[in-house]
Amino acid sequence: MKITSDTIAISNAPGVEPENQVVRRTIGVPGEATLNTGSAAGNLATSVVVDTQVSEFALANRTRCALCKHFDNEAFQRYLAQADHPAAPMHVRREVNDLRASLLMTYNASMTQHEGQDGDMDVEHALKAMGFCHALTEEAGESVVVHPLAVCPPEVVDPVTAPVGYFKPRGNESEKFADAAYDRVMKAAAGKGEL
């Protein structure tokens, strides 16, 4: 699916605490109107709207995979280079090609940063950004590849014991960046800044 626009706005409703404000993400996608006969009648401007509480959105911005010590882009790039070598085992080449196909089939808003000049997804660019998650790999017993903008899946998050899942800051710089991302969202929700 080709994405035509992707905007994020905070409601800034009066009298509502910043963490309880609503973040609305609006993703524009092309739509096609068809007649009862099945023939195309024209194009429609359609969009997907996702509402989230600011507290959840801010936490997700603070705990992106790219900032986590478990995210390993370098090891994944070595794996890709080995898989793309003509002498690589067929099962390894198939795994990488399946990942490429999966990226193309599940093209979503977070992947718009990987669009080529033609507006289509640049799969190789997306693969260059991705990495292994060592924590999820250990739990699954097989390699788990994640995008740097991803966060821990809900099944490893527990509100009391693991509110951010397996996320651990990569280091001091990563922690400062994560804190700044969180603060930027909260300030925007308080009407004191922009996203």
Mention every residue, 6+ apart, whose C-beta is less than 8 A from residue 46: 28, 29, 30, 31
Q: In this model, does residue 155 exceed pLDDT 90? A: yes
Scored b (16 or more CB within 10 A) or e, 6-19 reads bebebeeeeeeebb
Q: Is the dihedral of CA 164, 166, 172, 177 positive or negative?
A: negative
Q: What is the mean pLDDT of residues 170-193?
A: 87
Confidence of residue 169 (pLDDT cuts 50, 70, 90): very high
Q: What is the mean pLDDT of residues 91-111?
A: 77
Lowest average pLDDT, out of 14-18, 78-82, 101-105, 170-174, goes to 101-105
CA 35, chain centre distance (Å): 35
Report the side by side order of strands in the sheet with 5-10.
5-10, 22-34, 40-53
Give the per-residue pLDDT at 46: 82
Return the residue matching tokens 């009862």. Answer: 36
Greatest mean pLDDT among 10-19, 51-60, 133-142, 176-185 lies in: 133-142
Q: In this model, does residue 59 exceed pLDDT 90? A: no
Give the per-residue pLDDT at 191: 86
Degrees (nearest 5) of the Cα angle 117, 123, 126? 95
Give the per-residue pLDDT at 128: 92
Confidence of residue 116 (pLDDT cuts 50, 70, 90): low
Query: What is the percent of the chain with per-residue pLDDT over 90, rounded to a whole number?
Result: 34
- What is the Cα–Cα distance from 46 to 3, expressed in whole angstroms? 10
Tokens at residue 187, please? 């300030």
